[in-house]
Amino acid sequence: MLVVASLTAKGQNRLLFNHYLLNPETFNPGYMDIHNEFSATLLYRLQYLNQTGFPQNAYFNTSYHLHKNHGLGLTINNQNMNKFNLFEAGLNYVYHIWLNNTTAIGLGANVNFYQQTFNPAVFNAQSIYDPVFLDTRSIGGVNFGAGASLQSKNLTVNLSFPRFFANAMVDTDARWKTQYSSVYLSASYKFVFNKYFSLMPALLVRATGGAPINFLGDLNAVFYDSFFVGAGYKSGNSVHATVGYKFDFGLRISYNFETAPFSQFTGLGTSHELGIGFYTPFMKPGFDKRKIIKPNGKVKGMRVRKFKGSQY
């Protein structure tokens, strides 16, 4: 999966994070972690290329469960690539259908407001044969998407169409066309061996009209439900590694490094990603056998609220 878009008026205009598999909300408006009441995620990606105009992408998402059955999310995305700029801000709503106490299907939709801009005055073409625009181009509008998810204690499956329209670079004619729209399918499972060690393989497939199918595979090892390391492979022969730590109070920090030493494409360079997340788990009722002496002398147990652990 290449993260370099060609300089044409109709190139697909969105990069992919290696952190996608740790943060399904980045590509699925129908996903909201059923284990957390509140979550906030900040991702930043910088790719060093053998040319000017390093692609940079910043993504922020926050979500809150109004009730265990439904919640609202806010997303802000800003992407720069050699003087192309894409800015998006949107809202999504997710409704959960509970199959049992630990498994739920999520159905969601989003609305995004976007602005795409290209400024040729500050664009550095690598060749006289590179296609360029003669004047500044800018389009804006509204976009829509939908998605579904299946979550259980250890399994997560996602299917989404995050943006139906406007998936071409600064192309007014494609503003309401579905050409280049992408469908995402992902699955992950956490194999828990004991309280000290678990493994989580994950796979993401992205299909885009008019382009080869992209895929991203990860394998993460989690120690003490806090420290995790992982490695992955993208179509396009790039490989990446991840390291991160989740603190007891809900903060998670992770770093990802990507390189493409085996790729047939030149100039891909290396990429660095930083992820910062904060999560507040749901409280669930439980019994703590404290003795409470009633005025009549009888003893009864008191129901207290305990934390429900969230996925790493």
How many domains, the chain?
A: 1
**Burial track 165-203 (b if 16+ CB lie within 10 A, e otherwise):** bbbbbbbeebbeeeebbbebebbbebeeeeeeebebbbe
pLDDT tens string for the chain (312 positions)?
A: 333 333 333 444 566 677 778 889 989 999 999 999 999 999 998 876 555 556 788 999 999 999 989 999 999 999 887 778 889 999 999 999 999 999 999 999 999 999 888 777 655 555 555 555 566 778 888 999 999 999 999 999 999 999 888 677 666 776 777 777 889 999 999 999 998 999 999 999 999 877 788 889 999 999 998 999 999 998 877 899 999 999 999 999 999 998 887 766 555 568 889 999 999 987 654 433 444 555 665 555 444 333 344 445
CATH number where 171 lies: 2.40.160.40
Residue 9 lies in a domain: no
Q: What is the 3-state secondary structure (H, E, C) of the chain?
A: CCCCCCCCCCCECCCCCHHHHHCHHHCCCCCCCCCEEEEEEEEEEEEECCCCCCCEEEEEEEEEEEECCEEEEEEEEEEEECCEEEEEEEEEEEEEEECCCCCEEEEEEEEEEEEEEECHHHCCCCCCCCCCCCCCEEEEEEEEEEEEEEECCCEEEEEEECCCCCCECCCHHHCCCCCCCEEEEEEEECEEEECCEEEEEEEEEEEECCCCCEEEEEEEEEECCCEEEEEEEECCCEEEEEEEEECCCCEEEEEEEEECCCCCCCCCCEEEEEEEEEEEECEEEEEEEEEEECCCCCEEEEEEEEECCCCC
Q: Are 118 and 8 in contact (CB under 8 A)?
A: no
Tell me if 11 is assigned to some domain.
Answer: no
Quick check: is 13 in a domain?
Answer: no
In this structure, is residue 8 part of a structural domain? no
Contact 76, 89 (CB under 8 A): yes
Q: Is the pTM of this model over 0.95?
A: no
Is 251 part of a structural domain of the chain?
yes
Residue 17: which of 28, 30, 31 has the closest Cα? 28
With respect to residue 182, please indicate whether it lies within any of the assigned structural domains.
yes
Q: How far apart, in Å, are the Cα atoms of 4 and each of 14, 34, 81, 267, 269?
A: 9, 34, 9, 9, 10
Q: Quote the domain boundaries for residue 225.
A: 18-307
pLDDT at 113: 93
Q: Cα–Cα distance between 274 and 199 in angstroms, integer?
A: 22
Residue 312 lies in a domain: no
Query: Is 225 within a domain?
Result: yes
Q: What pLDDT, on a 0 to 100 scale, did the predictor assign at position 309?
A: 44
Q: Which residues pair with 205 in a beta bridge?
A: 185, 215
Cβ–Cβ < 8 Å for 3, 17: no
Return the pLDDT at 132. 58
pLDDT of residue 199: 97
What pLDDT sits at residue 308? Answer: 43
